[in-house]
Each structure stands twice: as C-alpha cells, then as structure tokens.
Amino acid sequence: MKTVEELLAGYALNDGEICSLKLEVNYTANNSSLRQAALEVLIRKEATRGKWVPCLLKIHMAGVQRIVISEDFAMSRYSDVVFKTLEEGKYYLSFDPCGNSGEPHENDNLVFIASSVSVEESIIQDRF
C-alpha cells in the first residue's frame, strides 16, 4: 500500500478546486455493498523544479467507510486539505478541515474515509 505522500509526490493539493464528485454503491449477489467515491480536483503540479502548473487530478477511493458532507456547495474552491494514511491503514481525506492542524478532527467537513486510494493525472478540458 502506498502512502499518501507517495501518491501525491510532485503535487500541491492545497488551494485547489473540486471539479466533480461521484459516489457509487453497487450491491453484490450476497447483498454486500461496494462503495466508491471519485473526485476530480484542479490543483498544481511541479513541472520543473520550482515551477508549478495547473493539473487535474482524479482521486479514486474504494471501500468507502464514511462520508461526512455538510455543504451548501456555494463555492468549489478550497484552501486547506487533510489527506493522511490512518494508523489502521485507512485513508482519510477532508477538503474542509477544522483548525488547519493537518490532522483529522471530529469537526472536519467534506470527509472521505476509505480502505484504498489511487490517483491519476487527467487532461484539463476547456471549462468555459
């Protein structure tokens, strides 16, 4: 399992914009569920040493165990983020953390906790 640091090497996730959020639940024959979340965020990546360029990053989370969203979605931009591997091996992602401590907090918002995460860079489409 890769750490969050390994997944995000060369990317600056803070001061970004959430472009899309998709949640999916599929039920299997034995009535268990496969829960997933997919987010696209407009962030920056390091193109060359010290030069940062816009980048669209897709974050796929599987085995989603918890989602906390209390949001009016008036703005898609965010300034702070907490993205960590928890002690029990789960991934924790919050786009609206409480207190800017860099650590998970019970009052965080836009929270996703999942058993696995993958990230991939995508092409920025003309958004206008």
- Which residue in 35, 51, 57, 25 sits closest to 123, CA to CA? 57
pTM: 0.85
Is the distance from CB of 56 to CB of 40 less than 8 angstroms? yes
Any idea of the CA torsion for 100, 101, 105, 107, to the nearest 10 degrees?
-30
Q: Which residues, 6 or more positions from 113, have their beta carbon under 8 angstroms from its beta carbon?
A: 64, 65, 66, 67, 86, 90, 91, 92, 93
Domain ranges of the chain: 4-122
C-alpha pair distances (Å), 30 with each of 35, 36, 66, 105 = 15, 18, 21, 35
Is the distance from CB of 114 to CB of 37 less than 8 angstroms? yes
The string of pLDDT tens digits covering residues 16-61 is 999 999 999 888 777 777 899 999 999 999 888 889 999 999 999 9
* Average of per-residue pLDDT across 59-68: 94
> What's at 82, amino acid-wise?
V
The string of pLDDT tens digits covering residues 90-109 is 999 999 898 878 899 999 99
